[in-house]
Amino acid sequence: MHLISNVNLLDRNDRWIWCLDREKGFLVKSVYYFLNKALLPQYEITPLEIFTFKNLWKSSVPSKVSWSGQLLLDKIPTRQNLYYRGVSWNTYVMCAMCGGEAEMSMHLFFHCHYAAAIWYVVARWLGVIMVLPSNMLMLMV
């Protein structure tokens, strides 16, 4: 009982206070910065990555239509991602098209020889020379 006796009660309505920013209240931006510091403290973002992410989030395409962010962050529901998330119990994560490598976003969309063949046909049709990106970040630049 002595623990409760030291509590000062105020005569006003209760309210929620966002501890990361007491003045402005809850902002998604503050959560983003908090999680960035907490989860990626050792990772240093390059200027190229900053530029890419800023332009990615400014896209006027609705997020449910745009796959670019999901592709960049490897959030596409590939066999490997579904297995890691516990959605699929099938341990066979190899590419459904070629069976040569694990089905990850980069492989499925660019490095699988079936996907690469399609990209090169499109490039030829457009009359351009194309080099497939080595990673998602290079694709977005």
Domain-embedded: residue 56:
no
Does 126 lie in the same domain as 79?
yes
| Interval 131-141: pLDDT, tens | 887 776 666 65
- Among 28, 44, 60, the domain-final residue is 44
Query: Same domain for 28 and 87?
Result: no
Domain containing residue 92: 71-141
* Pair 77, 133 in one domain: yes
**Closest C-alpha among 16, 39, 14 to residue 26:** 16
Per-residue pLDDT, averaged over 79-91, amounts to 85
Return d(Cα 117, Cα 56) in angstroms, integer.
Answer: 27
Residue 5 lies in a domain: no
Q: What is the pLDDT of residue 91?
A: 83
Q: Do 76 and 36 fall into the same domain?
A: no
pLDDT of residue 113: 92
Determine the pLDDT at residue 6: 79
Total count of domains within the chain: 2
Which of 7, 25, 44 is the last residue in one of the domains? 44
What are 73's two structure tokens?
Answer: 């962050």
117 CB-side CA count, 13 A: 5
Q: Is a pLDDT exceeding 70 seen at residue 65?
A: no
23-to-12, 16, 19, 83, 116 alpha-carbon distances in Å? 18, 12, 9, 42, 52
Are residues 79 and 136 located together in one domain of the fold?
Answer: yes
